[in-house]
Amino acid sequence: MLAAASACSKSRSASPNGGGSGGNGSADPDPGLLAGLRSVEAGLITQYDAVLAQFPELAVKLAPLRADHGGHLAAAGGTAPAPAPAATPTPTPSAGASATALAGLAGAERAAANARIGDCGNAHGPELARLLASIGGCEAAHSAVLTELARTAQPAPTAQPAPRKTRKPVPAKTPGAVE
């Protein structure tokens, strides 16, 4: 499933203003749409940075996904912030905290992918619609990857001891009783 996320890098080469595929390079046809896209992508980068700051051990898995959002932001005409320096968390997070953080990222990616569907319908030009569709597909793939990572990061359930079987006392037989 991680291979699905590698396709995201293709969206970095597209240009929202038609300059990517022989367009005229004119001004952005949908400045409001692009501003919203830049805002969402910057927000996703911030969320990744927050999770990476708390769980630096996830850097190998999350850095490529975060980098994709930097590419999305650049394709939308924004500037991606530099990756946050790796931090060492001071308290030890509780068991399952990383799974919760990953599930939160998965939800944010899912919401962003769903928003791209509406954005595609509102785009005035085909180049921008293709860019939005590509970014939305990437976000959907990220959501799937993060959901799987969250599932595997869940702590193993603690085994509950099986209830002890107790024997019911057998009533004593009284002499002369009829059964």
pLDDT in tens, 50-100: 999 999 999 999 999 999 999 999 999 998 777 766 555 555 566 588 999
Q: 161: helix, coil or strand? A: coil
Q: Which residues of 164-173 are buried (b: 16+ CB within 10 A; e: fewer)?
A: eeeeeeeeee
Percentage above 90 pLDDT, the chain: 54
**What are the C-alpha distances in Å from 138 to residues 65, 132, 170?**
9, 10, 68
Give pLDDT, residue 111. 97
pLDDT of res. 30: 83
pLDDT at position 31, please?
Answer: 87
**Of 135, 109, 111, nearest to 16 (Cα)?**
135
State the chain's mean pLDDT as an integer. Answer: 79
Conformation bin of residue 84: beta by default, left when phi > 0, alpha when psi is -120 to 50: beta
Q: Do residues 16 and 124 lie in contact, with contact meaning Cβ atoms separated by under 8 Å?
A: no
